[in-house]
Amino acid sequence: MYQETELIGIAKRENNKKRNYLVVNKLQGKHVPVEPKLALTMFQELAKQVKKDNEGKRLLLVGFAETATAIGAAVAAYLNCDYIQTTREHVEQVNYLFFSEAHSHAVEQKLIKEDMDVAIPLADRIIFIEDEVTTGNTIMNIIHEIEQKYRSRVSFAVASLLNGMDETALRKYQEYNISMYYLVKTDHSQYEKIADNYYGDGSYTSIMQDLTCHYTDELLCTNAVNARRLTQGEVMQEACVGLWNQINAKYVFDKVQSILVLGTEEFMYPALFVADKMERSGLRVKFHATTRSPITVSSEDSYPLHSRYELKSFYDEERVTYLYDLEQYDQIFVITDAARNNSESGENSLLMALKAKNNKTIHLIRWCLE
């Protein structure tokens, strides 16, 4: 069983008056670089809890963007059930269910209504997948939205790596008969004070200028699956195998090399899957992803994040995105589902950050429906 001190560090949100702290999971592979096997093992432990209590049920898993998309896809792959993630991105020619995330820097979340129209009548239970649940309000918002729109008899549950809900919030969920699965129970009562005590004197670099530079090479992979649309765990898993096979066929790996596999914002699980395949083949691999979250960084050893690059997003050049604790590697694989016509400025911005850490061999892998 995991311990709180093993998994989390408390960081300070930047310019967020709603909540000044952020719980950073050191094994999740979002903000902190991690060995892929550690992240996937943790996700599978959560999946085992869900499976044990839901044998024979038809499940729809909903992973929350952006931090829980890899968790949700991994649990869906383990259970081989229906899966869809929330998104903040634009999807062409669809309608949305909207709901809010009150404490976040980016409050609007969406589910594609046409896919929910198909999935909900077939489901016995909808399970929301999160990295951490604190108040439960965001999930309750979408539950109310679903109940109002569909009048379905489907039941609900929540599965998260961490659960920081207080007794009042837990009691509310019990009254609604919403099951809770989690690996570690956390107590948030001191987190605000902990965050306030950090100096925020880490390394900050902004790379927002629009300069053209070039990756070592670019590979466009086929047969992409978009988890913003309804899919199935086995379908996603098979597609990720195909992604890995295309990458493995093109590149030659020296087993003594250090490799970084980097996902982009909501797009995490396929990149994590590839990173795991590399690690299983004997390579030294780390995985993490860019993020929308503006987090203060600090030089203090006890603080979870020490350096930050401020970049243009792969998905919208007007959006700021961030990358934390970047190091030097022998090879870097940036794996994204961003279409080429959306991402040139973001690609250049990230590449300049990678080169600033003296990374020289940087591959761009594009896995998207374009």
CA dihedral 275, 280, 285, 290 (to 10 degrees): 20
CATH 3.40.50.2020 maps onto the chain at 4-196
Q: Of 212, 210, 208, which Cα lies nearest the Cα of 320?
A: 208
- 4-196 maps to which CATH number? 3.40.50.2020
Cα–Cα distances (Å) from 85 to 128, 247, 276, in that order, read 9, 25, 21
Residue 335: what pLDDT?
Answer: 98
pLDDT bracket for residue 101 (50, 70, 90) = low
- Is the pLDDT confidence value at 31 over 90? yes
Residue 41: what pLDDT?
Answer: 98
pLDDT in tens, 12-30: 999 877 789 999 999 999 9
- Is the pLDDT confidence value at 105 over 50? no
- Is the pLDDT confidence value at 135 over 90? yes
- Is the pLDDT confidence value at 133 over 60? yes
Residue 107: what pLDDT?
Answer: 54
Residue 18: what pLDDT?
Answer: 78
Q: Of 205, 199, 191, 194, which Cα lies nearest the Cα of 298?
A: 199
The stretch 332-340 carries a mean pLDDT of 95
Identify the bridge partners of residue 61 per DSSP, sorted by sequence position: 83, 127
Q: What are the start-end ranges of the E strands in the chain?
A: 8-12, 21-25, 59-63, 82-85, 96-100, 108-112, 125-133, 155-163, 179-185, 203-206, 217-220, 231-232, 258-263, 284-289, 307-312, 320-324, 331-336, 362-366
pLDDT in tens, 144-179: 989 999 988 899 999 999 999 999 999 999 999 999
Q: Mean pLDDT score of the chain, rounded to an integer?
A: 94
Residue 104: what pLDDT?
Answer: 52
Cα–Cα distances (Å) from 5 to 30, 191, 200, in that order, read 18, 13, 21
Helix pair 269-280, 233-250: axis angle to 10 deg: 60
Reported CATH class of domain 203-366: alpha beta
Query: Which range has the worst mean pLDDT, 160-174, 181-195, 199-213, 256-270?
Result: 199-213
- Is the pLDDT confidence value at 212 over 80? no
Q: How is residue 217 written in tokens?
A: 């090479």
Query: Which range has the worst mean pLDDT, 34-43, 79-88, 141-150?
Result: 141-150
Instruction: Identify whether the C-beta of residue 308 lies closer than 8 Å to the C-beta of residue 24.
Output: no
Cα–Cα distances (Å) from 230 to 61, 147, 199, in that order, read 10, 19, 43
66 preceded by a cis bond (ω within 30 of 0): yes
Quote the pTM value.
0.96
pLDDT in tens, 225-283: 999 999 999 999 999 999 999 999 999 998 778 999 999 999 999 999 999 999 999 99
User: Residue 90 gets which letter from DSSP?
Assistant: -
Instruction: Identify whether the C-beta of residue 274 lies closer than 8 Å to the C-beta of residue 264.
Output: no
pLDDT in tens, 50-70: 999 999 999 999 999 999 999
Q: Of 60, 118, 111, which Cα lies nearest the Cα of 89?
A: 111
Residue 361 DSSP SS3: coil
